[in-house]
Amino acid sequence: RVSIHIKDKKIPVTSHLYGIFLEDINRAVDGGLYPEMIRNRTFEDSLLPDDCSTPDEGYALVTSSGWRDEFNHGEGLSRWVRQNETPYTPIPAWYQDSALMELDTVNTLGKNRKAALTVVFREEGKIYNTGFCGVPQQAGHSYKLSMFAKSEETTVLTICVKEGKTIYSQGQIKVDKNEYTFYETILIASGDTGAGVLEISCSKGGKVTFGYLSLMPLTTFKGHGLRIDIAEKLRDLKPSFFRFPGGCIVEGISPSTAMRFCNTVGPVWERPGQQLMWHYRASNGLGFHEYLQFCEDLEMEPVYVFNCGMTCQARNEVLMEGTELEDMIQDTLDAIEYAVGEENTHWGALRAKMGHPAPFRLNYVEIGNENHGAAYEERYLKCYKAIKERYPHIKCIGNTHLEQKGLPVDIVDEHYYNTAEYFAEQYRMFDSYDRKGPEIFLGEVAVVRGYVGQLYGALAEAAFFTGVERNQDIITMVSYAPLLENVNYQAWFPNLIRFNNLKSFGIPSYYVWKLFGNHRGEYVLGTKEEVSVIYRPVKGMASLLGKAGLVFRGATWNGKKTEISRELSGRVTAADEVYTILGPDEEQRKENLKVHNSNSEDIFVIFGEEKDTVGTFQIEIKADSDRE
- In the complex, the smallest distance separating the C-beta of residue 168 from ligand AHR, rounded to whole angstroms, is 36
List of residues 6+ apart from 348 with CB closer than 8 A: 337, 338, 340, 341, 342, 359
246 binds ligand AHR (CB under 6 A): yes
d(CA 462, CA 472): 15
341 binds ligand AHR (CB under 6 A): no
- In the complex, the smallest distance separating the C-beta of residue 246 from ligand AHR, rounded to whole angstroms, is 5
Binding piece for ligand AHR, criterion CB under 6 A, among 80-88, 140-148, 243-251, 457-465: 243-251
- In the complex, the smallest distance separating the C-beta of residue 510 from ligand AHR, rounded to whole angstroms, is 16
d(CA 141, CA 477): 38
d(CA 377, CA 400): 9
Q: Which is nearer to ligand AHR, 61 or 578 (CB)?
A: 61
What string of H, E and C letters represents the secondary structure of 149-208? EECCCCEEEEEEEEECCEEEEEEEEEECCCCCEEEEEEEECCCCEEEEEEEEEECCCEEE
CA distances for 514 relative to 101, 119, 148, 508, 539, angstroms: 48, 49, 42, 10, 35
- In the complex, the smallest distance separating the C-beta of residue 371 from ligand AHR, rounded to whole angstroms, is 10
Q: Is the peptide bond before 494 cis (omega within 30 degrees of 0)?
A: yes
Candidates 112, 115, 88; CA nearest to 101 is: 115
- In the complex, the smallest distance separating the C-beta of residue 248 from ligand AHR, rounded to whole angstroms, is 4
List of residues 6+ apart from 547 with CB closer than 8 A: 538, 606, 608, 609
Residues 11-70 that bind ligand AHR (CB under 6 A): 23, 25
Around Cβ 526, how many Cβ atoms within 10 Å? Answer: 15
CA distances for 31 relative to 203, 212, 292, 293, 446, angstroms: 30, 16, 20, 19, 24
310 binds ligand AHR (CB under 6 A): no
366 binds ligand AHR (CB under 6 A): no
CA distances for 382 relative to 130, 354, 391, angstroms: 46, 31, 14
d(CA 509, CA 452): 10
Q: In a 3-state reduction of DSSP, which class is residue 210? A: strand
x/- map, 449-488, ligand AHR, by CB under 6 A: --------------------------------xx------
Binding piece for ligand AHR, criterion CB under 6 A, among 64-72, 240-248, 391-399, 400-408: 240-248
- In the complex, the smallest distance separating the C-beta of residue 369 from ligand AHR, rounded to whole angstroms, is 5
Q: Which is nearer to ligand AHR, 81 or 312 (CB)?
A: 312
247 binds ligand AHR (CB under 6 A): yes
Query: How many residues bind to ligand AHR according to rule CB under 6 A?
Result: 11
Binding piece for ligand AHR, criterion CB under 6 A, among 28-36, 135-143, 244-252, 472-480: 244-252
248 binds ligand AHR (CB under 6 A): yes
Q: In a 3-state reduction of DSSP, which class is residue 470? A: helix
Q: Which is nearer to ligand AHR, 278 or 338 (CB)?
A: 278
**DSSP3 helix / strand / coil % (the chain, rounded to 5):** 25, 30, 45
x/- map, 598-617, ligand AHR, by CB under 6 A: --------------------
369 binds ligand AHR (CB under 6 A): yes
x/- map, 141-170, ligand AHR, by CB under 6 A: ------------------------------
x/- map, 412-451, ligand AHR, by CB under 6 A: --------------------------------x-------
Q: Which is nearer to ligand AHR, 40 or 264 (CB)?
A: 264
Task: Give Cα 310 distance to the centre of its chain.
Answer: 22
Q: In a 3-state reduction of DSSP, which class is residue 602? A: strand
- B/e letters for 409-433, b = 16+ CB within 10 Å, e = fewer, are bbbbbbebebbbbbbbbbbebbeee
494 binds ligand AHR (CB under 6 A): no
- In the complex, the smallest distance separating the C-beta of residue 575 from ligand AHR, rounded to whole angstroms, is 44
Rg (CA), the chain: 29
DSSP 319: B
Q: Which is nearer to ligand AHR, 30 or 44 (CB)?
A: 30
Q: Which is nearer to ligand AHR, 29 or 99 (CB)?
A: 29
370 binds ligand AHR (CB under 6 A): yes
Binding piece for ligand AHR, criterion CB under 6 A, among 117-125, 241-249, 461-469, 603-611: 241-249
508 binds ligand AHR (CB under 6 A): no
- CB-count burial class (<10 Å; 0-12, 13-18, 19+) for 36: buried
- In the complex, the smallest distance separating the C-beta of residue 537 from ligand AHR, rounded to whole angstroms, is 43
Q: In a 3-state reduction of DSSP, which class is residue 297? A: helix
Q: Which is nearer to ligand AHR, 481 or 578 (CB)?
A: 481
Q: Are strands 364-367 and 395-398 parallel, antiparallel or unpaired?
A: parallel
Q: In a 3-state reduction of DSSP, which class is residue 424? A: helix
Identified binder of ligand AHR from the candidate list 88, 183, 492, 511, rule CB under 6 A = 492
Q: Which is nearer to ligand AHR, 57 or 389 (CB)?
A: 57
- Residue with CB nearest ligand AHR? 247
Q: Which is nearer to ligand AHR, 242 or 360 (CB)?
A: 242
Q: Is the peptide bond before 559 cis (omega within 30 degrees of 0)?
A: no
Binding residues for ligand AHR (CB under 6 A): 23, 25, 246-248, 369-370, 444, 481-482, 492
